[in-house]
Each structure stands twice: as structure tokens, then as C-alpha cells.
Structure 1
């Protein structure tokens, strides 16, 4: 008898002794043989810790007949892609006589791989000595493949998200460049129009024409001011209404060239969407221009401008001491028409109150909960 035959014989005898310890009607023996979970028992007291017993489920899983398993070490299930680190963990658990749960890639007799959820546990005698190792297996190849599929799908999704994010970022950058290019051209066009109006106003000998040209020029410059505000910040979709109101009023009163006009402000930042820029520019321009026509341009006085968020609305209050005299004729009527049209465009309400020499104009414009004007 060869050494190999002797080892197999010893393993068979050890398995028979194990079964002999349990009667045929012993629940342990019956359950071990009948369970659909693959199970084996090894004998660490023999050389190379051979398999001494395996159930039918283990043969079904691995493709090895019981006769091919008895007397051999479990390493016969290892293959070319079995993780050596996992094998080292199993070996260490056996040497340390401790339990271990680990996932390992094993191979069937025909060479096909399968993922094995291995549970290994020592069996001790009453004296505490390890006399057997019990191992159960669970084929979770499909679950592992599913995990790989999910991981691949997640990777593809992440790649797609990254690609779409890059596309959106590129589109946003292109849109921003386009917007700024359009802004540049609009500003150039407005400057050209303003230059033509100034030149025509200087050349004309008709006072009525001159006043009309200066009136149109003021509105063009109001548009230029709001255009500048829209595109000097990173946010091209909103602008600060208070900041714009201050600049516009300062420029208009400065153009009157009177030292006896006292201009004061009470301003709080309120974001307004770019879609409301032009109507708001016209509203502010007409209010200041009206105060100048009624007396500030001739006799000076006080002009106080308040911009704030009030009860969920964008509030503009303008107080002046220009008086209530009727001035402007056709220009006044035209200005009122622009004011009313602009107010309708943005859903604003305008009220006017006269207290002696003081005129108070209130403008209320709806804004949303984030401080940005609602789209009309």
C-alpha cells in the first residue's frame, strides 16, 4: 500500500469512526447527510488535515464524488485566480484553531469557478483538544455577479453623470461667453445711439427738439446703466436693484449740474431678475426726471431715495421737495405713459402723495421668498 493509499485509508477510517459515534437515527448524522448545504469534516490530527467526510450536497457543488474527496486537502478546490491572501487566512485559522468566515473563489472538478462563502469551525473534545474541523459552503456566484453588474452599472452611471456635468458646465460657459458678447455689442450700440443723440442735440437750433433729444438720451443712458450692472458680476441673471437705483439717481442728478440739490439714500440690497431690468430702469428714470422737471432742475431742493424689501415686496420710495407745479406738457404725458407701461410689465403698483412742498412716490414690485423678483 502506497503512502497515498494509506492516507486515504486513514481518512476513511476516521470518517467511519466519526459516524460510528452517532447512531443512524442520530439527528446530527441525519441532518449532515440530508441537508442541501454543502458540508465537509476534516481531521487536523492527520497529515495535511484531510477531508474525512463530505455530504452529497458538497459533491453536487464541486463535481467531485465522495471517493475523490476522502483523504485529500480542501486545496483541491483552489485555482489560478484564487486569492492567495484568502488562502493564507484559512491556513492561519486552522493553525490557530479558530473559526473563520471568508469568501473565496474556488473551482469545480470541470474547472468552472464559483464564489464560495466558507464557514470554518474547530470541533473540540471534552478535554478541549481540536479533533475535527467542520466547514460549510454556500455558492453565491450569482450574487457576486450581480454585485459586479451593479458596480459596473454604477460606474457607467457615474461616468454618464460626469459627462453630462461636463457638458452642462461647457454649455454654461458657452452661454456665459455668448451673453457677455451680446452685452458687449449692446453696450456698444447704446453708446453709439447716445453719441448720435448728443451730437444731434448740440447741432439743433430748435429748443423743443433739443429737449426731446435730451429726454431720449436720458432713457438710453438709463438702459446703459442697468446693462452695466447686469454684466459686471458673475450672476448674469440678477442684479441688485438698490445698487442700480443709487447709480442711476446719482448720474441723473449729476447731469443737472446744480450744487443746491441734496441727494440722500436709504438702500438695502434686493435681487431683481434680469428680465425686469429695462422696465425698472425706465420707472426709476421717469420718477427722477419728473422731480427735476417740477423744480429740482431750476431751484434745487432735496431728493431722498429709499430701496428695500418690504413685506415680501421690492419697495422704492422717492421723496422730493420740488413742489407740485405742473411742468413738462407733452414730455410729462409721454413720461407718464412710459411709467405706466413699465409698471404693467413688471406687475408694479405706483402711488403718489403730495404733502405741501413734498411729493412722495411709492413703487411696490412683487419678489419671491429668495429676494428675487418673480417673473411676470
Structure 2
């Protein structure tokens, strides 16, 4: 206890000596005392580098009187939640006699916490030796509280986003599974219908009925191909017209088994919503089927299929060169009606040009990216 009193007396003496060394009219001394910024001075030549002087603002900030502070080390302001790393940083800077700026959680006399922006600088004499340490403080508890509130708000927002994202992901997963299931059932139903029509065509003795059934079968198989494409595509909501056209042409030409058919393509990816898949598939099917009926299946020839973008639109083009044969007028008329209906449904335009044995048909449709 006597040792503690001696330390306090030495610290108080050092402080008085420091003050008395400045005239009362010294503006720097007056400013130190009167400023609203909390300030203090410590003496590193005394044991434990005690506070030897502090201004009124520092007392107001901490709740201690000057008599209680002088002779104490600044660790008096530390508490249970004070960051040990900040304390170590401060201690190392003082030991190295260098400037330090650190944010540290301190405690007032009544136990309340405040965030302290602490600035400590060594004061040197003319020889460069450190004779004092000067410290100024800035209470930024309000700012820190706002940062904490923002951090909490951000955390809550991130949690909410995570929850909503998880919910949306689950909903999307369920929707995707449902769409796949529906597509799968539609595909199976189309295959069942195709099997029934094919069986009926085989059993009928009427050429007219057989041709009619095979015509129906041709369209059902085209729609079945559409469903297969949609089902196998990861993006079940969209349909690649070029990919479908390529598959359909290869299927048709392969089924004809004719070596005298020259097939060329100019196909570029054009993705459209799945709602347009069926009418677009029927358009491609009718254009290729038209070429087959007019002679491709009898005398061979050339067929060129093109799908590509064109100035904000996309183009479906089928060009064939065949030696014409007599066609079934009823089937031909039905095909044209089917084609016109699909073109009207999609608000597309249809152009047909015939020169000699060559027929060039273009269907142009507005497409959005």
C-alpha cells in the first residue's frame, strides 16, 4: 500500500513538474487542458509507465477523477472483452517507442463499455530520448454501434436470402421434376398412339385408309421427336429448332434408304420457348414431307435445310431439287393447310418460290433473345 502511494506521489510530482515548466499563459498548455478531446501523458521512466497528467475531457470520458487516474497505468481501462491482440499491439509499440493508432474496447469506472480510437506518440527531448508518451482518445462507440447494427442487418438479410434461395431451389427442383414427369408421360402417350396407328395401318386393306393413317403417324412421330428433345434437354423450358431439324432430316432420309439423295444443311442454334416447339416442329416436318412427296422418295434429288438468325428474326428454309411425280392431292392439300395453320399460330411469314424442278420455301419468324 505504501509502495502504491509512493508511485502515485511520484507520478503526481512528475505531472506537476511538467505543468509548472509551462507558463500559465502558454497556449499549448491551455489548449491541452481545455480541449474537448480526452488526452493524457505517461512517464516511461517511472515503474509501469503511469499516467502523470490527464485533462478534464479524459476524466469525463472515463468517469474517474484526476486523483484516481494519476499514478495508474492505462490498463485500468481494460476489461473482460478487451481484445488481447489490441493490447499486445499497443504494448509492442510503446516498447519500440513508436507511434501507434489502435481501436480498443475500454471500460469506464461504472463498468460501461466504450470504443476508444487511441493514438499514442512518444515525446522526445533534444537528444532524441523518449521522456513522455502522449495519448489522445476518441470515443466512437456510436459509430461502432451503427456498424454492428449494419452487420446484424446484413447478416439477417443474408440469412433471409439464403432461406429464400433454398426455398426457390427446392421449388425449381420440384417444378423441373414435374415437367420431366409430364414430358415423360406425354412422350409415352405419343409412342402409344403411334403404335396404335401403325398397327391399324398394317391391318387395313384399304390403300386410302393406310395412306391416311401413315400421314397421321408421320405427324405423331414428329411430335414425339419434339418431346424426346425437350425431355433430354437440361433446359426443359426451351427448344433448339436447328437441333430438331437436323434429327428430323437424318431420320427421314435414313428411312428412305436412297443413295441418290444429296443432303446439305446450314444449321445454327436458335432456341425458342418450349410452347413454340410443336408448331415449329410441324413446319419443318411439313416442308421436308412436301419434298419427299413431290419426288425425293422416288427419284432422289437434292435437299438443303437451313436454320439461322436473320436481322432480329430467324429463318427456316428448305430447298429441294427433285424430278416431280404425281402427288396425292388430298394429302398435299392437308399438308398445306397444316403448314398455314402453324405459320398463322406463330405469326410467321411464308414464301414459296418454284423455278423448274427447284422449290425454295422460307418461313421467317420474329424471335426475341
Instruction: Give the Å deviation of 1:62.
Output: 0.6
State how far apart, in whole Å, the 2-side matches of 1:338 and 1:344 are: 10
Q: Secondary structure at the match of 2:294?
A: helix
Distance across 2 between alignment mates of 1:80 and 1:311 = 71
Q: Distance in 2 between matches of 1:288 and 1:162?
A: 50
Report how many residues are paired. 369
Mean CA deviation greater in 55-64 or 231-240: 231-240
- 2:299 and 2:323 in contact (8 A); partners too: no
Report the CA distance between 1:253 and its aligned residue: 3.8
Aligned to 2:234: 234
Equivalent residue number for residue 146 of structure 1: 146
> Does structure 1 residue 52 correspond to structure 2 residue 52?
yes
Which blocks of at least 5 consecutive residues in structure 1 are unaligned? 371-376
**Paired residues of 1:38 and 1:57 also in contact (CA < 8 A):** yes
Q: Which runs of 5+ in 2 are unaligned?
A: none
Q: How far 1:323 moved relative to its partner?
A: 5.2
Please show how residues 1-376 of structure 1 align to structure 2 within 5 Å.
2-256=2-256, 258-322=258-322, 327-368=327-368, 370=369
Find the aligned partners of 1:344 and 1:238 in 2 and give their Cα distance: 21
1:323 and 1:359 in contact (8 A); partners too: no
Distance 1:275 1:81, change over 3 A: same
| Residue in 2 that maps onto 1:373 | none
RMSD of Structure 2 on Structure 1 (CA):
2.1
Deviates more, 1:106-115 or 1:197-206: 197-206
Q: Is 2:184–2:231's contact at 8 Å kept on the other side of the alignment?
A: no
Tell me, in whole angstroms, the C-alpha distance in 1 between the residues paired with 2:358 and 2:87.
94
Alpha-carbon contact 1:348-1:365 (below 8 Å) kept = yes
Residue 326 of structure 1 deviates from its aligned partner by: 6.8
The answer on whether the counterparts of 1:305 and 1:319 sit within 8 Å (CA) in structure 2 is yes
Offset, 1:154: 1.9
1:108-163 superposed Cα distances (whole Å, 9 cap, x missing partner)? 11111211111111111222222211111111122222222222222222222222
More moved, 318-327 vs 337-346: 318-327
The CA distance in 2 between the partners of 1:93 and 1:328, in whole Å, is: 100
Q: CA contact under 8 A between 1:268 and 1:307: conserved in structure 2? A: yes
CA drift at 1:257: 5.1
| 3-state SS of paired residue (2:173) | helix
What secondary structure is seen at the aligned counterpart in 2 of 1:37? Answer: coil
User: TM-score, with normalisation over the residues of structure 2?
Assistant: 0.93
- Per the normalisation by structure 1, the TM-score is 0.91
CA displacement at 1:51 relative to structure 2: 1.4
Q: 1:298 to 1:324 in 2, by over 3 A?
A: closer
Q: Could you give the per-residue CA deviations for residues 183-241 of structure 1, whole angstroms, max 9, x where no partner exists?
A: 11011100111111112212222222221111111110110111112222222222332
Cα distance change of structure 1 residues 205 and 19 upon mapping to structure 2, 3 Å threshold: same
Distance in 2 (CA, whole Å) between partners of 1:132 and 1:172 is 68
Structure 1 runs of 4+ aligned residues shifted over 6 Å read none
